[in-house]
Structure 1
Amino acid sequence: MQYRCGWGGLTWKKMRCVCAAMVGLLVVLLNAGWLAAEEPDKRQRFAGKKVLWVDSYHAGGYEWTAGIERGIRKALRGTGVQVRILRMNTKWDLSENSKQHAGLKAKQAIDAWRPDVVIASDDNAARYLVVPYLKNTSLPVVFCGINWDASPYGFPCSNVTGMIEVEPVETLVAHLRRFAKGERLGYLSADTVSERKVVDVYNRRFFSGSMKSYLARDFDHFKELFLRAQNEVDMIYIANYSDMPGWDSRKVEDFLVRHVRKPTGSRLAYMERFVTFTVAKVPEEQGEYAAKTALKILGGISPDAIPVVANELASLTINLKMAKASGIVLPVSTLQVASKVIGQEAYR
C-alpha cells in the first residue's frame, strides 16, 4: 500500500527519494561554501611574496619577450605575488661594457627591492646578472629562454633551475628540403649575441658546419644579405629580426614577395608573414613554466630539487602568399597537417 501526502501527490517512497536528494544537495552546497570560504586564503597564500622578472631585452616591439610576459602574468594572476619587471635592454647594444653595466644595475635593483625569487629570461640575463652576482647564493633564480644548453653558465646549481629553449630545427628543415633544389642551407637573422650562439649550435649539432650564416645589422643590410643568399644557397632559414633598426614589416613583406625564389622558413610565430613555413616555439610556454616554478619555490621546494627542462610546444604555419611568390605548389597533405594556413588572399 502506498500512502499519499498532501505534497504534490508524492508517495512516501518518492518523498524519501526527494528528501535524500535534497540532503545530498545540501551537503554539496555546504561543501561548496566551505571551499568558497577557503578559496580567498588559497589565493592569498603568496600574498606579500615578491618575484622580480629580469628581461634581457626591452618592452615594446619584440614579440618573443611579450609572449614570455604573457605567460608569467597568466601563471601569477590571482596568487597574491607582487611582480616587478626589470629590462636590461641588451638586444642591440653589443658593447661588453654596457652589458656588464646592465647586469650591475639589475643587481642593485635586486638589493633594493629584495625579491623572494628572480626570473631571468634569455642568455644575457644569465651571463651578466645571474652568473656574476646570484649563482650559488641564497636567492632562488628561475631562468627561461636560454638557447639550447645552460651548462656553460653552470646551471643547474644549488639555487638556479629553469627551462632551456630548444628549436624544432630538423622538422623545419625537412619541410624546406621537400621543395629545395639542393642541400645548401642559409641562416639569415639579426646580428645579436643570441643569434650568433644559435648559428654555432646549429652547425655543431645538425649541419656539421655546412650552414652558411647571414647576420644583418639593419634592414638595408638584411636586404643585401637576402639577395646574396638567394644566389648562394638552396633554402633560407629567416630566423629573427629582433626589433632590427629600420625594420618595417610591410616593407619587408613587399620586398620578400618581389624577390623570394627559394623555400623559406622560421622558428618564430611573429615571422610567419615573411616565410613559407613556420615551425614555431611558443614563448608563453617559457614564461608560464618559469612563473609556476617560482610558485613551487615559494611553496617550499628547493630549486635544486627541480630539474632543468626543455620546451615542448610547437606549431606549423603555412603562408600561401610566400609559397606562391617562391613558385612552390603545396600538396593538400601538407596543408592538412598545418596548425594554421595564412596568405590565402594571394589566390583570390
Structure 2
Amino acid sequence: MNNWLRLLARYSLSLLFLVVATNVSAAPKKRVLVVHSYHQSQQGHVVEMTEGIEEALSGLGIQVKYYHMDTKRKTSEEWKREAGAQAKAIVTNFEPELVITMDDNAQKYFAKDYAAIPGAPVFVFSGVNKDPKIYGFPAKNVTGVLERPNIIESLEFLKKIVPDAKNILMLSDKSPTTDGFIEYAKSLVMPLNVVAYEQVETFEQWRAIAKKYKGKVDAIGLYVIRTIARYEGMPEKVPETELVAYINKHTKLPTVGFFDSSAQAGILCGISVSMKEQGYAAGELARGILAGNSPDSFAVKPTSKGRIQLNLNTAEYLNINLKHSLIKRADILVR
C-alpha cells in the first residue's frame, strides 16, 4: 500500500509540474500595435522609424503588429478618416496593451480619441510636429516624443557654406506636418530673414512660387514635399527629386532641407532629425511602460541628435565650393 501511495504521489506531482509548465508556456504575450501615418515603403522615414522601434523593443518577447495609414500617398480627408477607422478596428480586434503612433496624422485621425479614456490602451506617440496639446496629449495613458526640426542649426550650417545669404524663402507642401513646422519656425529667432512661408499643393503652384521669388531671396528652405500633386485633383504625386531639380535648375539658389531625405532629394545641405532616433525613443518609452512604469512618469520631449547632410553634386551644379572641414562633418554625403 505504501508503495502504491508513493507512486500515486509521484504521479500527482509530475502532473502538477506538467500543468504549471503548460500554463507558463501558454501565458499570452503582451501585445503592441504600431501605427504609422505613412506607407511602409517610405525609405529614410518610416523604414528608419521601424528600425528604431524594433531595436528598442528587442528581447522583450512581445507580439508586435504594424498598421500603415498611408496618408502621404493618399491625401484625401475621406481616406485619412477611413485609415483612422481601420486603426481603431485593429485596436478592437487585437486588444493591445500599448500602441505606438508615429507622425501627426496618426494622432489626429486615431490616437487622440483614446486620450484619457478609461480602459483605453496606453499610447506612446513620436514624430509629432504640432503642439501635442491639440490632440489632448499628454494624458494619464499617453506620453511621447516630439519631432522638432533643426531649423536654427540648418540655417547656421547654410551660412557657413554661403556666408552672404541674408534672405530665405521657406517652401513646403500643405499638410499637418508642415503646419506644425511653420508654427514652430515662427517661434524662433532666425539667423536669416524669412521673406515668406509658402505651402503648395500642386506642381503648377510649385513652378509659380519658384518664379515669384527668383531674385528676391538668397536661398530656399525646403521641408516635407511629399504630397504635391502633379495635377490638381489627381492622385499622382511629384517625386521629391523632380521638385528639387526644378528649383535647382530654375533658381540656381542654394537650398537647405529640414527633413530626413533632403540630400538624397538633391538639396544642397541641411541638418535633419534622425528618424531612427525618433523610433528608438518611442520604443524606449514603450519598454519602460511595459515594465510597469506609468506613462505620465515620462516627460514629453524632443530627441536631440541631428544628422548633417550634404549633396556634392548639387554644390558642383551651383558652383559652390565646399570646405573640406564641412564635408568631413557630414553624416549623409551624396556624391
2:126 corresponds in structure 1 to 144
1:108 corresponds in structure 2 to 89
Task: Answer 1 or 2: higher relative contact order, Cα 8 Å, separation at least 6.
Answer: 2
Q: Aligned pair 1:87/2:68, yes or no?
A: yes
Structure-2 separation of matches of 1:187 and 1:281? 18
Q: In the TM superposition, what is the alpha-carbon distance from 1:157 to its structure 2 partner?
A: 1.4
Q: Which amino acid aligns with 1:168?
A: N
1:226 corresponds in structure 2 to 210
Q: Which amino acid aligns with 2:108?
A: R
Q: Which amino acid aligns with 2:282?
A: A
Identity percentage of aligned residues: 26
Aligned positions of 1:26-175 closer than 5 A:
48-61=29-42, 63-91=44-72, 93-138=74-119, 139-147=121-129, 149-175=131-157
Larger deviation, residues 304-313 vs 223-232:
223-232
Is the contact made by 1:143 and 1:161 (CA closer than 8 Å) also made in structure 2? yes
Write the deviation string for residues 194-222 of structure 1: whole angstroms up to 9, x where unpaired: 11221232123345994512323244543
Q: In the TM superposition, what is the alpha-carbon distance from 1:283 to its structure 2 partner?
A: 0.5
Q: In the TM superposition, what is the alpha-carbon distance from 1:264 to its structure 2 partner?
A: 0.8
Is the contact made by 1:61 and 1:243 (CA closer than 8 Å) also made in structure 2? no
1:202 corresponds in structure 2 to 185
Q: In the TM superposition, what is the alpha-carbon distance from 1:243 to its structure 2 partner?
A: 5.8
Corresponding residue SS for 2:149: coil
Structure-2 separation of matches of 1:257 and 1:338? 21
Residues 50 and 256 of structure 1, relative CA distance in 2, 3 Å threshold: same
Q: Aligned pair 1:189/2:180, yes or no?
A: no
Residues 219 and 143 of structure 1, relative CA distance in 2, 3 Å threshold: same
Q: Which amino acid aligns with 1:296?
A: G
Q: Which amino acid aligns with 1:258?
A: K
Q: Which stretches in structure 2 are left out of the alignment for 5+ residues?
A: 1-24, 229-235
Q: In the alignment, which of 275, 282, 289 is matched to residue 283 of structure 1?
A: 275
Q: In the alignment, which of 285, 291, 301 is matched to residue 299 of structure 1?
A: 291
Q: Which amino acid aligns with 1:150?
A: P
1:333 corresponds in structure 2 to 325
Report which of the two has the higher share of helix.
1
Structure-2 separation of matches of 1:111 and 1:225? 46
Q: In the TM superposition, what is the alpha-carbon distance from 1:134 to its structure 2 partner?
A: 4.0
Larger deviation, residues 236-245 vs 143-152:
236-245
Q: In the TM superposition, what is the alpha-carbon distance from 1:94 to its structure 2 partner?
A: 4.7
Is the contact made by 2:221 and 2:256 (CA closer than 8 Å) also made in structure 1? yes
Residues 168 and 302 of structure 1, relative CA distance in 2, 3 Å threshold: same
Residues 234 and 260 of structure 1, relative CA distance in 2, 3 Å threshold: same
Is the contact made by 2:126 and 2:282 (CA closer than 8 Å) also made in structure 1? yes
Structure-2 separation of matches of 1:251 and 1:289? 33
Residues 109 and 281 of structure 1, relative CA distance in 2, 3 Å threshold: same
TM-score normalised over the length of structure 1: 0.76
Is the contact made by 1:156 and 1:304 (CA closer than 8 Å) also made in structure 2? yes
1:177 corresponds in structure 2 to 159
Q: In the TM superposition, what is the alpha-carbon distance from 1:237 to its structure 2 partner?
A: 0.9
Structure-2 separation of matches of 1:249 and 1:131? 30
Structure-2 separation of matches of 1:279 and 1:147? 16
TM-score normalised over the length of structure 2: 0.79
Write the deviation string for residues 74-122 of structure 1: whole angstroms up to 9, x where unpaired: 2223321111112222235555454333323322220111001000111
Larger Rg: 1
Is the contact made by 2:168 and 2:193 (CA closer than 8 Å) also made in structure 1? no
1:213 corresponds in structure 2 to 197
Q: Which amino acid aligns with 2:252?
A: R
